[in-house]
Structure 1
């Protein structure tokens, strides 16, 4: 019953109904970031309707956010006037609001009296809920953020799942491997394609896949660089002439990646993790992207279930970093389930 009600509510929200109008009190940069995130999850029901930015004239707008600025005063009374005049249902206070602690407390009281919700949005981003907990200290609410580490018992369980699942997968899929190997071998080239990838802590390893391209693919790639449809760092083409007919089929259903179960079995990779990068990709990394190398790369991951080749480079990095920062065994299991759906949907697979 809860699921059915939720589905109906989400449909209503995507059609612009049953939404909570949110006013954001912040500075420009943080306000834009919060606006973008709220707009991206309209199913939550939180709809950014206005800004309240100290120092901005009422009626103006902020770049990238087509909602009005309602005021600039830090007076709780003036803020309440703007809320009533614009039918605001919730106030989100985040960084750069310029309100004193006493003003925030008084505003909270006034909002409670008017039955209007108040949320405090910290500047930290991409942090899963279980990593955060609140601790009041002398009347001040402190948000503690823990850092998950794949060590000790957690590392043992993750590795155990990898070994057992990959071993069973190699045995059960061996008939399929044989059929695919015979089809790939028909054009005279090798069955498997071995490629150097960067793994845990920057260590190189040979990732194995069924060959899906012509044997001269690297030479042809140099002539196709101007036609790159990838995300800037990665080379991708939807109609890549280097891909063989059987290669197109096994890529469509991600069959070409199944031999990576061997990489998982011997410990180079994990079932779930960041996408294994090429050496030349790592050479273009900015400082923040190197955190992707703190865990083993995976056959699947958040990038696999969130668009695959259709993702921008920045979004791909963000998803991988989210995984690194918020890893859990439960999260791995959910990603594996979502992978099955993503493979059959075939979205972003080319």
Structure 2
């Protein structure tokens, strides 16, 4: 049932949001010269996939978790994208392709060994990673790997259709601040 919702809402989001995606891409061209950010992340069953987002940091920023990146790396337009969570819109393509879900654990990087181990121990990799979830709406990010893995496990074990929509609505209404940047 969740996969059905993912397919329908990601397709609707891509079609209806196309003008916004184009506009943000054009503005991003002026901001960084490279508006689309691609990064290999840890997916379901720990298989790699390429996550797609709008770029919020300077092109030469090191590929590390957000909480390890410098706040000075974020561009002015990037601050706007992060605050409004519009940087996440291109991930609708990842959802449509089946690499992600709208709701699930945020996908980490392969160099986040502590997080990967904690999530493996808690069975988090049994599901598709998501754009939002319980941890995100409660402002728990990758700077606390064990707490994040425990929260992801709790969400996975109790996720209902009602929760699926609740996490999406909380995210769209501005709950949660996204990944912290130092």
Q: Same fold (TM over 0.5)?
A: yes
Conserved? CA contact 1:310–1:348, under 8 Å = no
Q: How does 1:102-113 map to 2 (within 5 A)?
A: none
Q: Decide which structure has the larger Cα Rg and report it.
A: 1
Counterparts of 2:25 and 2:49 in 1: how far apart (Å)?
A: 22
Counterparts of 1:346 and 1:336 in 2: how far apart (Å)?
A: 11
Conserved? CA contact 2:67–2:143, under 8 Å = no
The match for 2:13 is: 169
Counterparts of 2:69 and 2:34 in 1: how far apart (Å)?
A: 24
Cα deviation code 1:178-224 (max 9, x no counterpart): 111111101452221100011110111000001111111118x7xxx
SS in 2 for 1:217: coil
Counterparts of 1:317 and 1:181 in 2: how far apart (Å)?
A: 33
Counterparts of 1:191 and 1:237 in 2: how far apart (Å)?
A: 21
Aligned length: 178
Conserved? CA contact 1:196–1:206, under 8 Å = yes
Counterparts of 1:304 and 1:197 in 2: how far apart (Å)?
A: 17
The match for 2:92 is: 261
Conserved? CA contact 1:294–1:324, under 8 Å = no
Cα deviation code 1:155-186 (max 9, x no counterpart): xx111111100000011111111111111101
Report the RMSD for the aligned CA atoms in angstroms: 2.3
More helix by share: 2
Conserved? CA contact 2:32–2:58, under 8 Å = no
The match for 1:323 is: 155
Cα deviation code 1:227-275 (max 9, x no counterpart): xxxxxxx441696111111111101111101100000001100010011
Counterparts of 2:142 and 2:37 in 1: how far apart (Å)?
A: 24
The answer to whether structure 1 residue 244 and structure 2 residue 62 are counterparts is no
The match for 2:41 is: 197
TM-score relative to the length of structure 2 = 0.87
More strand by share: 1
Q: Which runs of 5+ in 1 are unaligned?
A: 1-156, 222-233
Q: Which has the higher contact order (CA 8 A, sep 6+)?
A: 2
Q: How does 1:219-230 map to 2 (within 5 A)?
A: none
Distance 1:200 1:247, change over 3 A: same
